[in-house]
Structure 1
Amino acid sequence: MALKEKLEAVLNVGLRVPSIMLLEVLYRWDVSSFFQKIQRSSLNNNPLFQYKYLALYLHYVGYILSLVLLTLPRQHLVRLYLYVLTALLLFAGHQVSRDYVRGELDSGYEGPLYLDPLSMNRFTTALIGQLVVCTLCSCVMQTKQIWLFSAHLLPLVARLCLVPLETIVFINRFAMVFTGLEVLYFLASNLLVPYNLAKTAYRELVQLVEVYGLLALAMSLWNQLVLPVLFMCFWLVLFALQIYTYFSTRDQPTSRERLLFLFLTSIAECCSTPYSLLGLVFTVSFVALGVLTLCKFYLQGYRAFMNDNTMHRGMTEGVTLLILAVQTGLIELQVIHRAFLLSIILFIVVASILQSMLEIADPIVLALGASRDKSLWKHFRAVSLCLFLLIFPAYMSYMICQFFHMDFWLLIIISSSILTSLQVLGTLLIYVLFMVEEFRKEPVENMDDVIYYVNGTYRLLEFLVALCVVAYGVSETVFGEWTVMGSTIIFVHSYYNVWLRAQLGWQSFLLRRDAVNKIKSMPTATSQQLEQHNDVCAICYQDMRSAVITPCSHIFHAGCLKKWLYVQETCPLCHSQLKSHPPPAANAVAPEGAPQAPQEPANQNQTPINQIQEAASHIHEAANQNREVTAQADLIAGTAKECVDAAGEVDADSQSHLSAVAIKQEAQLEDRASQSQCLEHAFNDPQMGQGVWEGHQAATTCPEQ
């Protein structure tokens, strides 16, 4: 992003912050209660009380003006602020001129200026000030007609001409009236500008709604106004003003204990309206985003920004704060009560941030443990972050238990931190197992089962924690005070944290048990079968010393196939369903005359003679068919060559096409000849006839020419 674009983005946010500040002031200032106080104080004759309804109308006009400032395009907003700045400069020039006239009246000197040093100093100071005001006004308004802003120079010119002081007072008033008339003329000449802007904006909004819809319009306004950054800047300004006000009114230094209380009370003061609450929500979201970004950078460095996860944007923490604040009626409480409630809400937000940090760190730590990366710095960063996530939630839970009395709501809040610590502990144990396996010369055969047991253990602990929370809540509901909200929370917590976890755990257990039963039901490949197979495992690409044979006659490592069956119940190669069958009895004798059961893949070497002869006859027929196809291909190739020889007068494109046909036919001829030799060899060796015939049936015999 170029520097100009950055400045425009900063201006787009900074120029709209006063509109939110104005909304905040208007919300806090209750006009009706203000006039009721005036009426109770027996000041009915006060002129201010006579303009009660006018003040009410101005109150609503202020809301409209704030919304206009908030939604005005940036170019028009900059122009409006320049006009306001010019008006302020003209007012400053009027103040300088009035102060000079008062100074001259107090001195009473009407002689030449050079004879009185004090009068000369006052004149010089006022003249420089007025010249600066005129120059700034002409620069801001981008005009060379500097005389339009020089009316306040008239009293100075009159004093230089030795005009009496009473006349100078009149001239000063005339200059003020003249400047006011200029401002009124400018406003009258631009009176229709707001109407034209509103008309243009309405036309554009209607077109956008017709073409893209309301949702696209809302997203466009959200991106153009940059509302999250705008509300965050507004809240930070409000919070800084609150801190400055506190320290400017106190002379004594603040203790460490009072700093935490000051922090909470300042936040509580800055979320007393819906606008400031939204500002706090977006501020918390950006703080969470910053913490999660630092966590990614600490673990992975600059590589973390290449594959950024859209799930960790900090919006979860902001939405959590907003829901809890609305549910508990935060803005309606007193400041002290609001501060204590905010401490609990912020604890929940911090627990959510820690959970998001764990979601970022968990796959990185496990991948680092499973890889062969020996960088000590990477391992130190991963382990140190996990230790922080293990200790800090427990410390937070201990501290909040020291401040508040234990009840059902506090137990639910603490349980999230306890679950985070348990998850980190499980991640560290798996990381240690991976590192132990890395330092061993031979891999641990049952490492997958050990990892499953570790995961199952801390998942069981999580389930027990959730179950204890539900049991405590039910006992408090039965023997204590019953509320609809408490019962709803217990029901939701029971469904999501107890029932769903129990269901997922049971399904995982059944899936593993079914996979183990399937592996046990499959026959084990003999050493002779492994030698004939002469291939690696299709899952791990390692040599096979022991393996199992699937019903579809594929051979895999038993451990590799079991891991595969944990995920899906199909063959890794042909994707046929693998169903568990009871293993056949070793000494079972089939009754005489009964149909012979199909042989297992382990007995493929003992194929019956009649099956070999049948396969050999099929191979012989296929060889004869292949000879016929070879002869046809030879005839087509010869014809193509003759066509090429006879194409002496044909164009180059036709000759190249015929040559390509001839080359293609020759290649097919050679392929058919080699296939025929292979089939004849298989026919002469009936022992391998069955396997060759099956491969011949599985492949395409010959494409149609």
Structure 2
Amino acid sequence: METLENGRRQIMLSPAAKVLVSFVQRAFETALRLPGLILLELWWRARMQGDDVLGVEWTKELMKNEQVSSFLEVSRILEFVHTRNFDESAAHILSYSVLFLSALFLLLPVLRLVSVYMHALSFALFGFAHYMSIRYVQLEQESGGEIVLDDFVKLERHGFHFLAQVMIGLTISCLLRIQSDLARASLAIFCAPIVARMCGFPVDRLMVAHNFATSGIMLAICFYLLNTGPALLLWIRRAYKQLRATLVVRGVAGGSMAIWRRLRIPSLLASAWVTLWCLRVYVEVSKRQKVIEPLEYPLIVLAAIAESTATPLSLFGLAVTVSYAAKFILQGARLGLIGATEGPQTHDAAAVVMQGGYTEGLTLVLLCAQTGVLGMKLAPRAFLLGLVLFIVMSALMQSLFELLEPHLLSLGASHHASRLRHVRALILATILFAGPFGMAYAIARFLPLDLWCVIIVSNCLLTSLQTLSTVIVYTLFLIETRAAEPWERLDDLIFYCKAGTRALEFLLALVVIIYGLYASFFGQWSYASAFVLLIHCYFNVWRRLQSGWRAFQLRRKAAENIQVLARASQEQLRKLRDVCAICFMDMVEEARVTPCSHFFHGACLRKWLFVKQSCPLCHADLSLGAKRRRPTSAADRDDDSEEGYSSEWESESEHHSSETEYTMASSDEGEAF
């Protein structure tokens, strides 16, 4: 669909097409700016090493492969560049010129950056034309003799090289948008040796024509740079003024964030790190002569990760990559659970997806900064990075569980959810149950056992245990949903299931403490391990024990309160013919009567009393009536006695409001357990 606006043709795209176009634009801009960040990373590595200003050793190791080194004779080019006798000042100039090039790649607008790439490609084509000219001269010197162009076959080599030089000149003319006819003709100056040879120029003098063409093209490049250089300097000055104005108007923080978003720094960091990691994997695989065993692949991947993470810049790149991967996994899990069009997501799911990725990336950066990964050698760095990545994967598993739990429980209580949604949720539950066991096996298989490994394994087993508990509660909800009457024992079963889960979690925490104490007394003791044990004891042992005991006390008190409430008789239920105000289902067989003469299902009222010790309708205090009454049958009492008790109960409730508030607060805390 096309429209005309202000004399310009605009194409109206669909939302999906707009998203695709935006993605392609972002990917294209990221690819254009990527060399700048890679140059900055290599420069930073060279500065950390103290020598090797241009990253000689790294590039030489990369080019050890025969296929790569043979292409354009890269090893000879590197040898020419890195064996010059530069003095110290020239080396510093060359080093900081890398920073200048990196800044150009990162800060130039896209159109200017495309122009830079066009010029770079043109210079590369000039080099290729120079190579073709030398090759032609060498072939002619090897053939020797006089040239006789009396046959089409004899014109083949000359015609091919002539056509190649013309096409190279035409391509450069299109890339640089040269308008002058004389300048266009000068681009094919490397045709001079070919024309001279076809005109009978001696073979031993043919190199003179080639040298003439090379000198001419160098002069042309020099004049071109002198003409375009001032414009580039003016643009740099203008860009500096715009950058300073942005920082002044928006402030340092706001201006930095605007530049951060405009340059898409996170995408650049992730792309640069992935590129370096892929190159390292290629080098590690290509230098191995024997067939790689399946168990060696994780070691190769881990070694490549450690080698690619050597500076703070690459560490942030790894963190952003992990953050993107975690967010992608959480988004995929959300789409798998809820679907794109099957309804709105819950608040918990939205919060998990919104915060997804940031927790994992921040955890990785903090752990690496705390352990000093960047200052270590390759072997210990690989070990610690593997440990940190396992911690991040454990956190990701926990985020997936937080996404799954409310959705699975809502499916268990839903009457209209499709079977496909149940199947997808159960598949994710199976992955979360079996995946942590695989992580625990990998930790025990590839990493030496220490306190950190035990903590990670306990977290993995904790995720599996919580997933199993959630599936059991989901099954109980399914059974209760399909029952004709509310299941009075459902809440007790759910409590027993969760209490058993908390007890096993408590035992896992105790195992970690016991191992930590053993390692501290008989192994290597450190302040970091002692601090971790102290935090673990407080949050995972003492707080859990405290909350569990409080929840048990509140539940026992609520059970006592519900037991003293009278049961409604069948005659009362038939006369009432009402629904429960909590679940809105008919009260046919069983109900409880509160002192304020309100009727509820016993199971529904029990659940309510676990949260609040008050009537759901009139909010009258029910805890005092439970203390002063004894179990009686509703069929044996008359209406007058009910009214007398109700008035007595209401008068007493006014004197104990403070106790009610304390009970309600305690119930709210116990519900968290």
Is the pair's TM-score, using the shorter chain for normalization, greater than 0.5? yes
CA-atom RMSD, angstroms? Answer: 3.7
Distance 2:124 2:319 in 1: 35
CA–CA distance in structure 2, aligned partners of residues 600 and 450 of structure 1: 38
Candidates 603, 611, 631, aligned match of 2:643: 603
- Seen in structure 2, the aligned counterparts of structure 1 residues 29 and 533 have a Cα distance that, compared at 3 Å, is same
Residue type matched to 1:419 in 2?
Answer: L
Give the C-alpha shift of residue 465 in structure 1: 1.4
Deviation at 1:12, TM superposition (A): 0.7
Asked if 1:23 corresponds to 2:40, the answer is yes
1:529/1:602 contact within 8 Å kept? no
Counterpart-to-counterpart distance in 2, 1:601 and 1:234: 81
Q: Distance in 2 between matches of 1:299 and 1:402?
A: 33
Task: Indicate which of 101, 110, 126 corresponds to 1:65.
Answer: 101
Determine if the alignment matches structure 1 residue 391 to structure 2 residue 391: no
Structure 2 distance, partners of 1:246, 1:403, is 19
2:89 is aligned with 1:53: yes
Aligned counterpart for 2:319 among listed residues 277, 281, 286: 281
2:352 corresponds to: 311
d(CA) in 2 for partners of 1:339, 1:52: 35
The structural deviation recorded for 1:402 is 4.4
2:229 is paired with a residue of what secondary structure?
A: coil
Q: Using the alignment, how far apart are the partners of 1:342 and 1:51 within structure 2?
A: 39
Q: TM-score under structure 1 normalisation?
A: 0.73
Opposite residue 174 of structure 1, the aligned amino acid is F
Contact 1:369 1:431 in 2 (8 A): yes
CA distance in 1, matches of 2:22, 2:452: 48
Q: Check the 8 A contact 1:470/1:494 in 2, yes or no.
A: yes
SS, match of residue 309 in structure 1 = helix
TM-superposition CA deviations, 1:110-156 (whole Å, max 9, x none): 545447955x3332121111111111111112234322522323333
Closer, same or farther: CA 422–572 of 1 in aligned 2, 3 Å: same
AA paired with 1:8? Q
Partner of 1:242: 280
User: How far off its partner does 1:377 sit?
Assistant: 4.3
Is the CA contact (8 Å cut-off) linking 2:125 and 2:172 kept in structure 1? Answer: yes
Give 1:292's aligned residue.
Answer: 330
In the alignment, the residues of structure 2 paired with residue 462 and residue 304 of structure 1 have an alpha-carbon distance, to the nearest angstrom, of: 35
**1:347 aligned onto 2:394:** no
Partner Cα separation in structure 2 for residue 341 and residue 86 of structure 1: 46
**Matched residue type, 1:602:** E
Q: Does 2:440 align with 1:400? A: no
The code of the aligned residue for 1:17 comes to L
**Matches of 1:238 and 1:453, distance apart in 2:** 52
Residue pair 1:296, 1:304 contacting (<8 A) in 2 also: no
SS of residue matched to 2:525: coil
Distance in 2 between residues matched to 1:296 and 1:585, nearest whole Å? 51
The reply on whether 1:11 has 2:46 as its aligned counterpart is: no
Question: Which range moved further: 344-353 or 85-94?
Answer: 344-353
Given that residues 523 and 602 in structure 1 are in contact (C-alpha distance below 8 angstroms), is that contact kept between their aligned partners in structure 2? no
Equivalent position amino acid for 2:301 in 1: F
SS at match of 1:256: coil
* CA displacement 1:662-681 (0-9 Å, x = unmatched): xxxxxxxxxxxxxxxxxxxx
1:540 is paired with a residue whose SS is coil
- Match for residue 176 of structure 2 among 122, 141, 152: 141
Q: Which amino acid aligns with 1:216?
A: G
Secondary structure of 2:536's partner? Answer: helix
> Would you say how many aligned residue pairs link Structure 1 and Structure 2?
586
Q: What residue is the counterpart of 1:620 in the other structure?
A: none
Supply the AA of the counterpart residue of 1:537.
C
Q: Using the alignment, how far apart are the partners of 2:513 and 2:233 within structure 1? A: 61
Q: Is the 8 A contact 2:596 2:646 kept in 1?
A: no
1:151/1:175 contact within 8 Å kept: yes
Q: Who is 2:624 aligned against?
A: 580
Note if contact 1:285-1:317 (Cα within 8 Å) is conserved in structure 2.
yes
Query: In structure 2, what residue type is equivalent to 1:566?
Result: F
Cα deviation digits, residues 242-282 of structure 1 (max 9, x gap):
33334434443222232333232233332233333333333
User: What is the TM-score of this pair, normalised by structure 2?
Assistant: 0.76
Identity between Structure 1 and Structure 2 (%): 34
* Corresponding position of 1:97: 133
> Matches of residues 165-244 of structure 1 in structure 2 within 5 Å?
168-244=206-282
Partner in structure 1 of residue 610 of structure 2:
566
1:19 is displaced (CA, Å) by 1.4
The reply on whether 1:265 has 2:303 as its aligned counterpart is yes
Give ranges in structure 2 of 5+ residues lacking alignment: 1-16, 57-81, 631-638, 648-673
The question of whether the paired residues in 1 share the 8 Å contact of 2:565 and 2:594 is answered with yes
Q: Distance in 1 between matches of 2:568 and 2:250?
A: 64
Distance 2:421 2:646 in 1: 57
* CA distance in structure 1 between the aligned counterparts of 2:121 and 2:239, rounded to whole angstroms: 25
Matching residue's letter, 1:446: R
Q: Which residue of 1 aligns with 2:516?
A: 473
In structure 2, the residue matched to 1:419 is: 462
Task: Rate the CA distance shift 1:445–1:437 in 2: closer, same or farther, 3 A.
Answer: same
**What displacement does 1:365 show?**
2.2
What SS does the corresponding residue of 1:24 show, helix, strand or coil? helix
State the Cα distance separating 1:355 from its structure 2 match: 1.9
Give 1:49 shift: 4.0
- Partners of 2:167 and 2:403 lie apart in 1 by 58
Partner of 1:457: 500
CA-to-aligned-CA distance 1:491-541 (integer Å, 9 cap, x gap): 222233223333433443444345445556767778898788764332222
Q: Which amino acid aligns with 1:53?
A: S
1:155 aligns with 2:199: no
What SS is found at the alignment partner of 2:581?
coil
Structure 2 CA distance, aligned partners of 1:576 and 1:142?
86
Partner secondary structure for residue 241 of structure 1: helix
Instruction: Give the superposition deviation at 1:462.
Output: 0.9
Deviation at 1:419, TM superposition (A): 0.7
Q: CA separation in 2, counterparts of 1:83 and 1:577?
A: 83
What is the rounded CA distance, in whole Å, between the counterparts of 1:374 and 1:257 in structure 2?
Answer: 43
Q: Quote how far apart the aligned CAs of 1:76 are.
A: 1.5
- Residue identity opposite 1:352 in structure 2: A
1:282 corresponds to which letter in structure 2? Answer: V
- Structure 1 position 16, deviation (Å): 1.5
Indicate the larger mover: 372-381 or 3-12.
372-381
Higher relative contact order (CA 8 A, sep 6+): 2
Q: Which amino acid in the other structure matches residue 58 of structure 1? A: L
Shifted more, 418-427 versus 230-239: the winner is 230-239
Pick aligned residue for 1:536 from 560, 579, 584: 579
Q: 1:653 — aligned with what?
A: none
Unaligned runs of 5+ in 1: 39-45, 587-598, 608-705
Compute the displacement of 1:90 (Å).
1.8
The higher radius of gyration belongs to 1
Taking a change above 3 Å as real, the CA distance of residues 102 and 375 of structure 1, as seen in their structure-2 partners, is same
Q: Distance in 2 between matches of 1:47 and 1:207?
A: 44
